[in-house]
Amino acid sequence: LAKTTQPISMDSYEGQEVNITCSHNNIATNDYITWYQQFPSQGPRFIIQGYKTKVTNEVASLFIPADRKSSTLSLPRVSLSDTAVYYCLVGPMNYGGATNKLIFGTGTLLAVQP
């Protein structure tokens, strides 16, 4: 399973764009990149998933360079309610057996200030 590395924490202010980068140097050909968000006292929830280039949804954008050894989650114009832990996961989509699973790391704590 590809190991991921993220900053432990980041600070931002309301209205700013926030970019959180995740390194995954040994990503495999069939691995996808998925980001989750976790608020205090809640389970994580899916934000966005991609394989290459750029993916955008109503919440965030995900930028993946050609070598796929890193990815950047971009949150436009953050608000106080975006304060949460953000996890980057890398793993295959086609789960074929019991050993295929995604592992959550420690994540990045984003603190948005007024």
Specify the residue, 12 or 91, whose C-beta has the smaller distance to another protein.
91
Specify the residue, 7 or 105, whose C-beta has the smaller distance to another protein.
105
Tell the smallest beta-carbon distance from residue 108 to another protein (Å). 10
Concatenate the DSSP letters of all residues of the chain into one string: ----B--SEEEEETT--EEEEEE-TT--TTEEEEEEEE-TTS--EEEEEESSEEEE-SS-EEEE-TT-SEEEEEESS--GGG-EEEEEEEEESS--STT--------EEEEEE-
Specify the residue, 17 or 100, whose C-beta has the smaller distance to another protein.
100
- Residues of the shown chain interacting with another protein in the complex, contacts defined by CB under 8 A: 34, 36, 42-46, 49, 85, 87, 93-95, 97-107
